[in-house]
Structure 1
């Protein structure tokens, strides 16, 4: 059973997301798990971790986490990016793209459960955040951005029942 065990608002500095964009055509059995496997096999995260700075880690407590960033807008192709949030002046390595985000706030939900049940709970988290008075915001093009944040050790060390905690985050006012 999946449960939202914690919600909170988090301020983040201006930052640059660096990663690789995928679409619905890249899903295998409805999932991007194969793409994640490619990332780990090719050490892509190590390339990005080398771009982290101590100042950025001080400004953003969840700096050293892998991110599944999503963009959704009615009538446009769904985007799923794998990568990391990095300092706003980080240079994307060859083969990677980037998206800049201004300083803003996140509505964060900790989703506890087994894998794969913790995935695909973005709407439930959006509803929970809205119930708690957070306004989920769109970007300048009227698109929604949200993401999975794989925090250590919450996600990487299952509890005695095999459950992990996946952060699902939405941009909020």
Structure 2
């Protein structure tokens, strides 16, 4: 089975502080598991938009992608030693619920990103260029495969708010 968008919905996220680690190249999830860094972050209450998920995020800074791994917290949350943060303005997101086999690399391709952009167009939503795209790894949707061996990854794309 090929990856599919099982559902799409619009969600609001208030002003947020993404606390984690910043990467100029590929994000290194392996070091997060090896160093048990999420345990440190889980000591503070997350924003409801974050839920119980771990976040992989990317946005464009000075024409280059800046990648993050971490969690979303209220903007006044203190940053634990050894971590970095970036504050994110209140934002609307189109959240595509991507459905595919556990460990599928198709979750992370430009083809999948473009498929989600087409879904946005079908809903008359416009991507907020160069702003945040977030992978939200929720439990149990992403961690426990269904009877077909599939999981769901939330892929949130920041969208423009139309003035109506």
**Which TM-score bucket, shorter chain as reference?**
0.7 to 0.9
SS in 2 for 1:79: strand
TM-score normalised to the size of structure 2?
0.86
Q: CA deviation at 1:136?
A: 1.4
TM-score normalised to the size of structure 1?
0.82
SS in 1 for 2:146: coil
Task: Establish whether residue 130 from structure 1 lines up as the match of residue 117 from structure 2.
Answer: no
Aligned to 1:69: 57
Task: Establish whether residue 117 from structure 1 lines up as the match of residue 110 from structure 2.
Answer: no
Whole-Å separation in 2 of the counterparts to 1:41 and 1:162: 26
**Structure 1: which 4+ aligned runs deviate by more than 4 Å?**
none
Q: Is the 8 A contact 1:63 1:86 kept in 2?
A: no
Of 155, 158, 161, 2:145 maps to 158
Q: Is the 8 A contact 1:148 1:168 kept in 2?
A: yes
Aligned to 1:17: 18
Give 5+ residue unaligned stretches, structure 2: none
Aligned to 2:7: 6
RMSD (Å), alpha carbons: 1.7
Aligned to 1:37: 30
Q: Is the 8 A contact 1:65 1:84 kept in 2?
A: yes
Task: Establish whether residue 101 from structure 1 lines up as the match of residue 112 from structure 2.
Answer: no
Give 5+ residue unaligned stretches, structure 1: none
